[in-house]
Structure 1
Amino acid sequence: MAALRRVMDSRWLFHRGISRTSASRFFKTSSSCRTVMPAWVIDKYGGNDVLRFTKDARFPIINYPNEVIVKVCAAGLNPIDVSMRGGYGAATMSMKRDPLNLNQTENEFPLILGRDVSGVIMECGLDVKYFRERDEVWAAIPPWKRGSLAEFVVLSANEVSLKPKSLSHADAAAIPYVANTTWSALVNTGGLTKDNCAKKRVLILGGSGGVGTFAIQMLKAWGAHVTVTCSQNAERFVRGLGADHVVDYTAGPVEVPLAALDKFDLVLDNVGGSTERWALNLLKPWSGAKYVTLVTPFLQNTDTMGIADGMLKTAVIVASKALKHLAKGVHYRWGFFAPSGLALDEIREMVDAGQIHAVVEETFTFAQVPQAFAKVEKGHARGKTVVQIDKLDT
């Protein structure tokens, strides 16, 4: 743990090119003397034009003894940030922000987006034992919390993990959200672990996106055989991450070449749409094989039908599909993002062991947040889009 306390050590500061005076100013900022901070916010849902920079965003405070305040060094953007900017999930997120009042909207805006964060702990709640001030950490921020496109963010200590030593903050910010999403889908829902994954056959539908590229690396580190679908232009990219077999979805109906392959133990679907009609036929029947999709109608249902009716419809849909496919000998499951510092602890070890690498396509400055959103909105990325917030990271 001594190495983790080196932030104020003169040799460490020298090698980082940071003066002791600058470091002192960096860490002396506290909630007792700050009430506002710089941030990018939205005051209504819409396109890129709703993004607004302000120096007067409300400074986060610790409300619960298990929380920490993190000074943001870098933030990663995800497709969900673009969707949330347009209002996706608004009904459910408002409920999570104020579960006692389903009609509460006053805390909805101004809304700070950004699901990935890498930074430095500035302040700890009274019950936080595992972390200390100046620890370098990373985390995936739940969509119902204020995001990382700000100078500071408050998180539960259970959502936070020590940052991999081998990564800069900019690279570290590319991993947590897709890592927690992938871990939830493959481990919590799919039942895969590093101890049972060897020789398992896994198909990733949509292998060149954020979740797909992370899943390839994690599964290969655990010894699985990985097949992915992607465009021909991305084939070299995903093979470089470890994919064993690649099927080009631009060459024709992708289900045809996939049906000619050996059956799979698990299918991870990042595409959705019509894939459910044929993807479950690619699984080994009566073997415990699972189809896990990350493309679900849950938030869309609650947005359009309200919380109660939307959740009821969602429950009926997933139950009917699960029973239908169970009769055919395969398991149908929905995967969801789940924040977990413990999962990030495991992933940190894999990163520092060289088994998982950050895949960053482009880095923007804090002043270029609208451009970063425009980049994510275009789609077809070959890695993550990252925003550099604080210049301490060099």
Structure 2
Amino acid sequence: MLLRQRFCTKSAPKVKTRMGTQMSAWQIFQYGGNEELTQTTTARVPNILKPTDLLIEIHAASVNPIDTMMRGGYGKAMINLLRQGLWNQAGGTEFPLILGRDFSGVVMETGKGVTRYKPGDEVWGAIATQRQGTHAQYCIVGQSEISHKPKSLSHIEAASLPYVAVTTWTALCLVGELTQKNAQNKRVLIHGGAGGLGTFAIQLMKTWGAEVTTTCSTDAVGLVQSLGADVVIDYKTQDVQSELQRISGFDVVLDPLGGKIPSFSVDLLKGWRNSKYVSLVTPVLSSTDKFGIPLGLLTTATNFGTNIIRGFINGRSYRWALFIPNGNALGQIAKLVDNGKIEPVIDKVYTFDQVPDAFQKVEEKHGRGKTVISIKDS
């Protein structure tokens, strides 16, 4: 693996927290593979431009599949349109681009409109895709994208949760319409239970009293069972489709994988009982990358309409979910963590100098929980 390092140091240097100083960060200057990841110590500490923004010193971050996809250019058409809206300017370039969506850290400075946080507060968050990312010493976040960090977790432990937690919350709660009150005894199928998103989703649903079925490989069966999964289907030794069809009748199916799963998973739902198939693999970003914004959105709408019609015919609901930053959800999740209801599941922790190795691990798609980057010793 070829790796370019500019001004590389063994550990991130200490910097002043005033505006305009330099920081260590991992950047890309064009889309591609791991060879595009470049470490620099001369990136500028970002400025607070909006009254509700905060400057965060990042102690730890994680690497998610979305980071490896964005490194290759996934979603660039739509995300760049959102970036123009964020900065109120047209044209320009997103490069150099810092990847990374979630973090745990400490508030250093706040905008004049920030009312819930002050310098010194320990916070965690998952930030919008149009922002510069968290694989750096500092980042800018919006007040609505964060909450106070769970007191029971270290920064490394906390950094493993925000992105998967908020994505799961969007999929199961906002789109799937499950709540703490109505999830009791609901039958929920979670594909890919051993990954970062799956390990969190299993815990959340079991905390709320749902009956959880999940899929995983042989070496992860013990893990997902320890998280509370009621039924585990080993895709290495069992025929997933036939096993699921035998026990079909789910209230909600969560699909973070895509591929061949939608072709049979929709039929696993209860008919005419307000059941929902929720997919995290949506064609919105890939279609706009391929066809441009107008035609890409039209193509997406056409596909969505076809799936909706299919769902209505069978008495089921076919839905898509996207990651949406949600500080309020993180606040509720922090309480569950501090009450011992949800625990972080970490596969491996890398140092800041090992970010390309962390990306490589996530790309291999065999993780058991989350891949975390330690940025500042704490």
Corresponding residue for 1:13?
none
Alpha-carbon distance in structure 1 between the residues aligned to 2:16 and 2:21 = 14
SS of residue paired to 1:214: helix
After superposition, residues 13-92 of structure 1 pair within 5 angstroms as 29-31=17-19, 34-92=20-78
The 3 A distance-change label for structure 1 pair 101 and 29 is closer
Residues 170 and 388 of structure 1 are in contact (CA less than 8 Å); yes or no, is this contact kept in structure 2? yes
Aligned to 1:337, which of 323, 334, 343? 323
AA aligned to 1:304 is K
Alpha-carbon distance in structure 1 between the residues aligned to 2:118 and 2:216 = 43
What percent identity do the matched residue pairs reach? 48
Corresponding residue for 2:99?
113
Alpha-carbon distance in structure 1 between the residues aligned to 2:122 and 2:171 = 27
Residues 1:273 and 2:259 are matched in the alignment = yes
Alpha-carbon distance in structure 2 between the residues aligned to 1:101 and 1:320 = 36
Query: Displacement of 1:372 after TM fit?
Result: 1.2
Corresponding residue for 2:229?
243
Query: Displacement of 1:28 after TM fit?
Result: 6.3
TM normalised by structure 1 equals 0.90
SS of residue paired to 1:251: coil
Corresponding residue for 2:276?
290
After superposition, residues 1-394 of structure 1 pair within 5 angstroms as 29-31=17-19, 34-99=20-85, 104=90, 106-391=92-377, 393=378
Residues 46 and 86 of structure 1 are in contact (CA less than 8 Å); yes or no, is this contact kept in structure 2? yes
Corresponding residue for 1:19?
none
AA aligned to 2:123 is V
AA aligned to 2:323 is F
The 3 A distance-change label for structure 1 pair 100 and 295 is closer
1:208-260 residue CA offsets vs partner (Å, 9 max, x unmatched): 11111100000000000000011122111110111000011223431101111
1:105-134 residue CA offsets vs partner (Å, 9 max, x unmatched): 533100001111100000011111111110
Alpha-carbon distance in structure 2 between the residues aligned to 1:27 and 1:358 = 30
Query: Displacement of 1:100 after TM fit?
Result: 9.4
AA aligned to 1:368 is Q
Query: Displacement of 1:327 after TM fit?
Result: 1.7
SS of residue paired to 2:260: helix
- Segments of 5+ residues of structure 1 without an aligned counterpart are 1-24
Residues 94 and 105 of structure 1 are in contact (CA less than 8 Å); yes or no, is this contact kept in structure 2? no
Residues 292 and 335 of structure 1 are in contact (CA less than 8 Å); yes or no, is this contact kept in structure 2? yes
AA aligned to 1:268 is L
- Residue-pair matches, total: 366
SS of residue paired to 1:98: helix
Alpha-carbon distance in structure 1 between the residues aligned to 2:87 and 2:23 = 28
Structure showing the higher helix proportion among its residues: 1
The 3 A distance-change label for structure 1 pair 48 and 27 is closer
SS of residue paired to 2:134: coil
Deviates most, 320-329 or 247-256: 247-256
Corresponding residue for 1:18?
none
Root-mean-square deviation (CA), in Å? 1.8
Residues 95 and 101 of structure 1 are in contact (CA less than 8 Å); yes or no, is this contact kept in structure 2? no
Residues 94 and 104 of structure 1 are in contact (CA less than 8 Å); yes or no, is this contact kept in structure 2? no
Alpha-carbon distance in structure 2 between the residues aligned to 1:269 and 1:224 = 17
Corresponding residue for 1:15?
none
Deviates most, 328-337 or 364-373: 364-373
Corresponding residue for 2:8?
none
Residues 161 and 344 of structure 2 are in contact (CA less than 8 Å); yes or no, is this contact kept in structure 1? yes
Alpha-carbon distance in structure 1 between the residues aligned to 2:14 and 2:120 = 10
1:12-43 residue CA offsets vs partner (Å, 9 max, x unmatched): xxxxxxxxxxxxx9896221xx3322111000
1:299-339 residue CA offsets vs partner (Å, 9 max, x unmatched): 11011100111011101111221122112100000011110
Alpha-carbon distance in structure 1 between the residues aligned to 2:86 and 2:178 = 36
Query: Displacement of 1:378 after TM fit?
Result: 1.4
Alpha-carbon distance in structure 1 between the residues aligned to 2:328 and 2:87 = 31
Residues 95 and 102 of structure 1 are in contact (CA less than 8 Å); yes or no, is this contact kept in structure 2? no
SS of residue paired to 2:25: strand
AA aligned to 1:29 is T
